[in-house]
Structure formats: C-alpha cells, structure tokens
Amino acid sequence: MAVPKRKISKARRDKRRAANIKMTAPNIIECPQCHEPNVPHRVCAACGFYNGKEVISVD
C-alpha cells in the first residue's frame, strides 16, 4: 500500500482543492416588463412578473 513519504502542507492541499471550485457571477438579465436587473428564471422582485404573467402582487 502506498504511503506518503512527507506530510502535504495545508497550503498545498488547499491549492489543489481550490482549483476545482471557481466561482462565477450569476447571469443578470433585464426584466421585459419593468427593465430592472433580474436573475433568469425567477420572478422579478420589482414588478412581480414571470413569463409575461403577474405571479405576485408587489405594492
């Protein structure tokens, strides 16, 4: 069975693990109703519309 000859430092270990976790900014689109910035496939927080229909009433 293979056994490491030396201890791998925390910095080296964490650098290897961090290579697979690249953060990306969420896509931002413009709401077709009120033209506010919005995340795709979510109800607009400003006007309450989704897919051309009012889903929630925003006062």
Looking at residue 59, its pLDDT comes to: 76
pLDDT grade for 1, boundaries at 50, 70 and 90: confident
In degrees, to the nearest 5, what angle opens at C-alpha 48 toward C-alphas 43 and 52?
A: 75
The residue extents of the domains of the chain are: 25-59
Mean pLDDT across 36-48: 95
Determine which helix (DSSP H) or strand (DSSP E) holds 38, and give its type and residue range.
Answer: strand 37-38
**Across-strand partners of 1?**
none
The 10s digit of each residue's pLDDT in 3-36 is 999 999 999 999 999 988 888 888 999 999 999 9
pLDDT at residue number 4: 93
> Is the separation of the CB atoms in 45 and 58 below 8 Å?
yes
What local confidence, expressed as pLDDT, does residue 21 receive? Answer: 84
